Amino acid sequence: MSTSAPFTLITGGAGFIGTNLADRLLTHGREVVLFDDLSRPGTRSNLEWLTRRHEHRTRVIVADILDERAVEEAVAQATEVYHFAAQVAVTTSLAAPLRDFEVNARGTLVLLEALRRLPEPPPLIFTSTNKVYGALDDLPIRATERRYVPVGEQAGINEQRALDFHSPYGCSKGAADQYVLDYARCFGLPTVVFRMSCIYGPHQHGNEDQGWIAHFLIRSACRQPLVVYGDGRQVRDVLFIDDLLDAFERAMRDARQLAGRAFNIGGGPQNTLSLLELIEQIGERSGHVPSVQHAETRCADQRYYVSDTTAFAQATGWRPQVSVEEGLARLGEWIDQHIPRGSPYISPGAARLKAVGR
């Protein structure tokens, strides 16, 4: 696809985060190009929604992030780049680690090299993951009835925490994370890394280990059982998508000053949720207590992860604005309007595992 006007490039642009970001930018009159292979469940419906909402302004390049020529052509006139194209689940990385590496690590390097060849590389924001910190087995915690809690004062995990890649997914995203930072150091690219906790909101078609809030709400709305890996006391800080988009805007605005830095991004200690607490809230909101099936704890599953977002707040003034209660209500409204109840909801994660023979 060729275009004459400068634009914002979003790789993985038809995914959950890309769709929401594209909608905001297009609504504000910005030019946007989505780069996506449309292989993930939900991407085609997200793209159809964007096309309807923004008529003929939605522009898309259907290609794989490993396609060097397509990537080079895509970045040629981009004024800023958001890199979301990725394999996003630990379970899938365990089933197909080579593909996980190719997409997450090599795909990111393909993009960085295309940017490096430009006379004036545009700023790039890359979404990494809390999995780069490993399972956090050394973190002192204790179990209460509904959640794990830290022992002693614990504001959250900050960027000084040692990296400890765990699982093929953690390794591939961690490698990409480090390449993005190093291209700022070695080649002067204006790149910033977000190590993200649990992000949730509309247009999310989640599975058991990525997008679990949306996954639980959708399964419950369809009267299907929930699968909980481990005891369900696992805690994450959760961040509504609108707050993440605000963080993107601030980071992109200051990208050249923030270049070469990684930031932990999430809802922080004031916005935390355990699996059991979410299930309890689903029952209270719907009047229907979801059926729950338990399975063994998964590889590298952190029992407690809460982001310390102090560094990004100090650098940009950003702080989350949407409470857990408001965010869940808004996601629930979207599910009520967009998820059909007539047919069983199939987990994207289960579909992927079946495809690779698990």
Instruction: Return the active site residues.
Output: 169
Length of the chain: 358
Of residues 303, 299, 280, the one with CA closest to residue 154: 303
Tell how strand 141-143 and strand 148-150 pair up.
antiparallel
DSSP string, 18-46: HHHHHHHHHHTT--EEEEE---STTHHHH
C-alpha span between 41 and 106 (Å, rounded) = 22
Of residues 13, 185, 180, the one with CA closest to residue 113: 180
C-alpha span between 118 and 77 (Å, rounded) = 10
- Residue 204 CB partners (closer than 8 Å, separation 6+): 16, 42, 211, 213, 214, 241, 331
C-alpha span between 76 and 119 (Å, rounded) = 10
C-alpha span between 137 and 302 (Å, rounded) = 8
